[in-house]
Amino acid sequence: MTKGTILEIIKVSLRAIRSQLLRTVLTVFIIGIGIMALVSMVTATEAIKANVQGEFSSLGTNTFSIKRKTSQGRRMGMVQREGDPISYQQARDFKRNYEFDGLVSVSAFGSGIATLKKGSTTTNPNVQVLGVDENYLQISDKQLATGRGFLASDLSSSQNLCIIGNDVVTKLFKEYESPIDAEIMIGSYPYVVVGVLESKGSSMGMSQDNQVYITLSNLKKQYGTARTDYNISVLVEDAKDLDMAISEAFGTMRVIRDDVFKSSESFKIDQSNGLVDAMLEGLSGVTVAATIIGLITLFGAGIGLMNIMLVTVTERTKEIGVRKAIGASGKVIRFQFLVESIIIGQIGGAFGIILGIAVGNLVANQLDAPFVMPWFWIIVGSMLCLITSVASGYYPAKRAAALDPIEALRHE
């Protein structure tokens, strides 16, 4: 076929599509929904992945944390028992006895429903209280906007000192007021503000600025119970020494926790990059589910497109007979109907991709994840639409090309 013939076939196909506008719109909508389901879910998960990587990248690859074991069952023939909470004394013993050259920090959760007060001004009862030591800010990569962090002497003297987040500053202090050295109430205890955390915004829909840090000794006094679980974090100067540091931590912690020889340990050690990998692996399941949903919907759309093209062939039997009678070959007729099917499929694909990107990033925005453009899945979506439209249009096109012109001209 010449270039002129191909252009003429495309023009005829576009006129035929416009003449069946309602049918075309419905088919485009069905295809678009399939592509939208795929692209929107993938876009949202890609945005969340980027957010997870960004949040954990600040921890680096040379840190690990020690927590109590929370799972039960069997592993390699050994009974796995759920560990008791790591106590305040055990955490202190580890920090004192850990001999590897690394920075150790201990922290604990106090409350997620605390109310802070300054004079007659009160926050909502949703402030998170954390007990931390003098190394916590450095290991967790928390920056101060103003003031100072805790000193070792602050913990040993049990002074009522605190570091507050930006949301707490906004709620309790006027713009012209400096929070440093001001006294606030955390529950029924008075505290002096010594530092303000740099704003981190929100992550996964939760504010990171609605927090207050108090010293571990004060957390033990104000919020501590027998079930309070203390977390231990370790920062190693060189990532190459991480395995040796973890091995040393295992041995030290087993002794402190009185884990019996040959029994499973009552604690677990998590690496920061391991947490990222675990979360990303979980999110990859969502991507697989989105792909399956999209393919199923596209399969249904393909069946719908084939039915529509078959109906179109039947309705245009006389037209096909006329075209064949004036010299159009079966190849030209087949190509025309394939072009119609491909155009409808690509319009549906474009509609679904645009809508999918918009919906996916809207979901990501609600979770405070960054905007992403999933180029790989845009290409995949376009190719899927092309394959679907060719597969759906081939049989109707072949049937149209095989019509006998004399019989076609007799058709009413």
The identity of residue 234, as a single letter, is: V
DSSP labels, 243-297: HHHHHHHHHHHHHHHTPPTTSPPSEEEEEHHHHHHHHHHHHHHHHHHHHHHHHHH
CA 96 – CA 86 distance, rounded (Å)? 15
pLDDT-based confidence at residue 38 (cuts at 50, 70, 90): confident
Q: Residue 375 pLDDT > 80, yes or no?
A: yes
Query: How many other CB atoms sit within 10 Å of the CB of residue 393?
Result: 28
Question: Is pLDDT larger for residue 334 or for residue 228?
Answer: 228
Residues 6+ apart with CB under 8 A from 153: none
335 pLDDT band, cuts 50/70/90, is confident
Q: Which secondary structure element, helix H or strand E, spans residue 193, and what is its range? A: strand 189-197
Q: List the single range of 47-51, 179-183, 236-240 with lowest mean pLDDT.
A: 47-51
Residue 382: is it exposed, middle or buried by C-beta count within 10 angstroms (0-12/13-18/19+)?
middle
State the chain's mean pLDDT as an integer. 81
| DSSP 3-state of 110 | strand
More confident residue, 52 or 127: 127
Residue with tokens 């084939």: 306
pLDDT score, position 328:
72
Q: Beta 102-114 vs 230-236: how paired, if at all?
A: antiparallel
278: left (phi over 0), alpha (psi -120 to 50) or beta: alpha
CA–CA separation, 66 and 84 (whole Å): 13
Three-state secondary structure call for residue 26: helix
At residue 58, does pLDDT exceed 60? no
Nearest residue to 278 (alpha-carbon basis) of 39, 49, 43, 45: 49
For residue 71, the one-letter residue type is S
**pLDDT for 337-353, tens place per residue?**
788 888 888 888 888 88
Coil, strand or helix: which one is 116?
A: strand
User: What is the chain's percent helix, strand, coil content, to nearest 5?
Assistant: 55, 20, 25
pLDDT of 271 strictly over 90? no
Q: Which of 394, 402, 386, 391 is nearest to 338 (CA)?
A: 394
**Structure tokens belonging to residue 94:** 């580890």
Instruction: Assess whether pLDDT exceeds 80 at residue 163.
Output: yes
Mean pLDDT: which of 201-205, 286-290, 408-412 is highest?
286-290
The pTM of the full predicted model, rounded to 2 decimals, is 0.56
> Is pLDDT of 59 > 60?
no
Instruction: Locate 29 and state its tokens.
Output: 């909508």
Which is higher by pLDDT, 157 or 12? 157
Question: What is the end-to-end Cα distance of the chain in Å, rounded?
Answer: 31
**Who has greater pLDDT, 111 or 29?**
111
Percentage with pLDDT > 90 across the chain: 30
Residue 76: the pLDDT is 47
Is the pLDDT higher at 328 or at 119?
A: 119
Q: Give the separation between CA 103 and CA 256, rounded to whole angstroms.
A: 18
pLDDT of residue 410: 60
Q: Three-class SS of residue 169?
A: helix
Q: Quote the Cα angle for 83-86-90, to 5°.
A: 130
Calculate mean pLDDT across residues 317-330.
Answer: 74
In this prediction, residue 83 carries a pLDDT of 73
Q: Whats the size of the chain, residue-wise?
A: 412
Task: List the chain domain ranges.
Answer: 3-55+278-410, 70-265
pLDDT at 65 over 70: yes
Chain-centroid distance, C-alpha 373: 14
